[in-house]
Structure 1
Amino acid sequence: MTRADGGWVVHGTKGFATSATGARWAILLVDPAGPGGARHARGTAAGLLLLACDLTDPAVTVDTSWWDPVGIRATVSRAVRFNGAFFPHDRLIGEPGSYPTGQWQTAFVPHYAASFLGAAEAAYDYAPAYLKHQGKSGDPYVQHRVGRMAVDVDTARLRLRHVAGLCDERRPDQARIARSRARHVIEQTVRHCIRACGARCLVRPSPVERILRDLTFYQRHDNDDHVLAPIGRAALGEPYDPSFHKT
């Protein structure tokens, strides 16, 4: 990214550009201090820029061949190439640094948690019926796993409701860390289904095969260890970053 008269010129590639082939406008978070993803910026967070991008600009192209993931194959995301695209100053959204310092990224955390909860509920719908059909419902270890799934799903629902309540009460600081806690709890549930049902549940057309594959990919947007560490730091009164989960 380089400065130009009246704005900036951008070269490079943005991965995970979902809706790029359908949207006219998109947002782009960039680091004026150097190349690389904004969450790994070498400059200060106060210098990061959130820009409005016109996807019809001829200097912006979409790579439709990029998307070939291990999971969520029913979806599509793109890579977008910026070949000297010009962004005038009036395309800046907020002040420089507003996105990280205002912790706007935390607004996305409940979306992830809700997606994980839907997958966990689907796995929980499948497991008891499958285990009864296989005659395994009397196994105490299976009962423990199913019991843990029941508790986890209920806990996840309550945690998301708690997050919504904090937002309604306009308690943003508490809501931010509560969102991460909800996300962490929900991520753990599907593994109990797999351990209770065994390898057979991972053979197509079992829905668990797809659920595991989808979540394995989707959950990597933020590694769960990096989500859990800021939760611990917050509980210990240490500084933490609820947006990008930096250590």
Structure 2
Amino acid sequence: MLMHREESGMRKVVERLRPVVRAWDQANGDEDFPKERLRALVALGATTAFVSLGDEGAVTDLLTTLRLIGDADLSLGRIYEGHVNAAQLVHAYGSAAQREALARDLSVGRIYGVWNTEPAPGMRIEQVAGGHRLSGAKSFATGAGHIDKALITASRGDGGKQMVLADLSDTAARVDNSAWQVRGMRGTRSGTLDFDGMVVGDDALIGQAGDYEREPRFSAGAWRFTAVQLGAVEALVRHWRDHLIATSKANDPIQRARIAAVIVATRSAGLWVERAARLAESGSPHAIAHVLMTRGVVEEAGLLAMEGAARAIGTASFFANSRVDRITRDLGLYLRQPVPDQARDRAAAAWIEADRWVDDPWW
């Protein structure tokens, strides 16, 4: 009964979210940290709904939620996806007491993030009197100065990588967002936070060394950001289509041929993302290859949509108040997620080497 109630709550999040994101999609001007929109997600129950996924229905609901948010605001989608990732990691690897603390945090609307990228020489953690002292910083830290807690990684003395849930409530002086001068994804405020000298207690250490990069969760979890990106590609195609109708170009065969190719690519990307999500959340040994290949499939659909929309709409698509311009700037940056070429290479290698290829090439 408890699982049924949780799943019902997930479904309600999707239903409540649909009209909200439609309104957000029309409000294009604000590129600051999306504080009010995050509050709306809290009120809708989106920040508490997907800590654990019970069945395929729950996976579908999370996939739909990520697509809807990505459709309306990619910066918000990046922040929200990081929150879900962090909450799921704490739930998966934390102790019973840590899971209870997570539930309390989420119930009062606290927002989490995951920060792994770091400038040299990297983050370190050492045991000291009264706890564990951190040294180093995290860069490209989404939501720095705005989110409540960050799940970070730090190297221990023995070389193992330890997850640490850091409380950010008193870290304003440690944040530097000045270098985040970018064309797109401005609202993520992905700056730097200096952890030098911060001391945390035993209760901040999540799981064991190596848990953060434990497979298949580490690589396969990337399906979530492909879902956010897919939502933006779908929004771009929709705005492109609306432009053709509004400008009486819908009967132009050249325009139709151009958008037809993008519709095929986008619908195909949707099938890849759905399959990747199901494999990843079921723990399939084939999840990693599918997710890595999905990253490239979504990237190609996005690039095709951005170029096609610019050609179809022309100069009007480059004005600052254009929804197409905003999506294109944000998506262009978001698609640069780490090592996209390496991801596709790893996926191709997995397919070539798979023993199942002869019997089922599309496993």
Structure 2 length normalisation: TM-score?
0.54
CA contact (8 A) 1:180 1:227 kept: yes
CA contact (8 A) 2:220 2:280 kept: no
Counterpart residue number, 2:332: 216
Q: Deviations over 1:86-111 (max 9, x none)?
A: 24444322111111133433354122
Name the CA distance, whole Å, in 2 between partners of 1:176 and 1:154. Answer: 21
Match of 2:152 among 10, 28, 41: 28
Q: How does 1:128-147 map to 2 (within 5 A)?
A: 128-134=241-247, 136-137=249-250, 140-147=253-260
Q: Tell me the CA shift for residue 213 of structure 1.
A: 0.7
Q: Which amino acid aligns with 1:210?
A: R
Q: Which amino acid aligns with 2:330?
A: D
Q: Tell me the CA shift for residue 166 of structure 1.
A: 2.6
CA contact (8 A) 2:137 2:194 kept: yes
Kindly report the root-mean-square deviation, in angstroms, between the aligned alpha carbons of the 2 structures. Answer: 3.1
Question: Where is the helix percentage greater, Structure 1 or Structure 2?
Answer: 2
Name structure 2 gaps, 5 residues minimum.
1-123, 355-363
Name the CA distance, whole Å, in 2 between partners of 1:21 and 1:10. Answer: 18
CA contact (8 A) 1:29 1:49 kept: yes
SS in 2 for 1:15: strand
Q: Percent identity?
A: 28
Counterpart residue number, 2:217: 104
Cα distance change, pair 89–70 in 1 and its aligned pair in 2 (3 A): same
Counterpart residue number, 1:3: 126
Q: Tell me the CA shift for residue 133 of structure 1.
A: 4.7
Alignment partner of 1:13 is 2:137: yes
Name the CA distance, whole Å, in 1 between partners of 2:202 and 2:224. Answer: 31
Q: Which amino acid aligns with 2:288?
A: R
Counterpart residue number, 2:273: 160
Q: Tell me the CA shift for residue 31 of structure 1.
A: 3.0
Q: Which amino acid aligns with 1:50?
A: M
Counterpart residue number, 1:245: none
Q: Which has the higher contact order (CA 8 A, sep 6+)?
A: 1
Q: Tell me the CA shift for residue 54 of structure 1.
A: 2.4
CA contact (8 A) 2:137 2:195 kept: yes
Counterpart residue number, 1:226: 342
Counterpart residue number, 1:207: 323
Alignment partner of 1:182 is 2:294: yes
Cα distance change, pair 192–229 in 1 and its aligned pair in 2 (3 A): farther
Counterpart residue number, 2:196: 83
Aligned pairs, number: 226
Match of 1:126 among 239, 260, 280: 239
Q: Tell me the CA shift for residue 147 of structure 1.
A: 0.9
SS in 1 for 2:140: coil
CA contact (8 A) 1:17 1:79 kept: yes
CA contact (8 A) 1:59 1:85 kept: no
